Amino acid sequence: MELNICHLYPDVLNLYGDGGNILCLQKRLAWRGIDVSVARLPIGSPTSLSGFDLVFIGGGQDFEQQVLLEDLHRGRSREICAAANDGVVFLTICGGYQMMGHYYETFDGKRCDFIGLLDLVTVGAKERMIGNYKFRCTPEAGGSVVVGFENHSGKTRLGPSLRPLGTVLAGRGNNGEDGTEGAHWKNVFGTYSHGPMLPKNPAFADLLLATALERKYGRAELQPLDDAAELAAHDEICARV
């Protein structure tokens, strides 16, 4: 068995250790004897998204989000939609998550028209939402408690039929108002959780891997790992927040 992972826009969307999520996925597969390849596709890369099982998109500041718009609308946007509709697993964080929606309008009124894959919009607020936070995933997203670090000005609102990834337990999440965090549609997961999020949330990391393996091979037997260190980190942050 093998999973092919893509880190999309690592040159511009890679804040607060987001790239560590890739290392975590690589390790959790290797420890189980499952092969893994990782391709990094920066702005302008001619490599297509076809053939990838899991695509990771990290966060970036407003400026970086504007920088990649041209590349996105040159064809990457269509590829992302095609892959997502085909069931490819996506983990998208903060700026990358906002990018999956219709648009992001900054606090000073600059509008980035994004992909429109997920029925959500984001509008910048004056006060940034910053700090460690935690949320509980919906049952369809595994039900685990995820701890992370959020830092965004954008307030994201989901359309009526889009399910959140979870419910905020402490912190702000999508907008600091309606108690929702992130979004989950098909195998696309969006969240505000930087950190990197996966090393200290092993249940969520395994949910992504199991989903990708299941889609590719029709089965996903993930051997249990010794997650003592990962869970100690998780519990420590959980208790502090």
Residues that bind ligand GLN (CB under 6 A): 15, 59-62, 65, 94-95, 151-154
CB 156 → ligand GLN: shortest distance, Å? 8
Residue 213 CA, chain-centre distance (Å), reads 18
**Separation CA 123–CA 18 (nearest Å):** 23
CB 34 → ligand GLN: shortest distance, Å? 30
The answer to whether the beta carbons of residues 24 and 196 sit under 8 Å apart is: yes
Name the token pair of 213.
Answer: 């393996």
Closest-by-Cβ residue to ligand GLN is 59
Is 112 among the catalytic positions?
no
Is 94 among the catalytic positions?
yes
State the helix-helix crossing angle for 202-217 and 20-30, rounded to 10 degrees: 60
Nearer to ligand GLN by Cβ, of 61 and 132: the residue is 61
CB 39 → ligand GLN: shortest distance, Å? 22
The answer to whether the beta carbons of residues 39 and 4 sit under 8 Å apart is: yes
- Residue 54 CB neighbour total at 10 angstroms: 25
Nearer to ligand GLN by Cβ, of 193 and 211: the residue is 193
* Residues labelled catalytic: 94, 194
